[in-house]
Amino acid sequence: MSAHRLAEQRALWDAEAAAYDDEPDHGLRDPATREAWRQLLAAHLPAAPARVTELGCGTATLSLLVAEAGHHVRGVDLSPQMLGRGLAKVAASGLPVELAEGDAGDPPYAAGSADVVLCRHVLWALPDPGTALERWRGLLTEDGRMVLVEGHWHTGGGLTADATCALLREHVPDLDVRVVPLTDDVYWGGPISDERYLVVAAPA
The answer on pLDDT for 3 being more than 90 is no
The answer on pLDDT for 98 being more than 70 is yes
Q: Return the pLDDT at 8.
A: 85
Q: Which of 71, 90, 87 is nearest to 79 (CA)?
A: 87
3-state class (DSSP) for residue 59: coil
Q: Return the pLDDT at 159.
A: 97
Q: Return the pLDDT at 6.
A: 83
Range of the domain at 76: 3-202
Q: What is the pTM of this model?
A: 0.95
Q: How many domains does the chain have?
A: 1
Query: What pLDDT band is residue 5 in, cutting at 50, 70 and 90?
Result: confident
pLDDT digits over 111-158, tens only?
999 999 999 999 999 999 999 999 999 999 999 999 999 999 989 999
CA distance 77 to 81: 10
Q: Return the pLDDT at 1.
A: 67
**Amino acid of residue 104:** A
Query: Residue 118 sits in a domain of what CATH number?
Result: 3.40.50.150
pLDDT digits over 75-85, tens only?
999 999 999 99
Q: What angle do CA 100, 104, 109 make, to 5 degrees?
A: 60
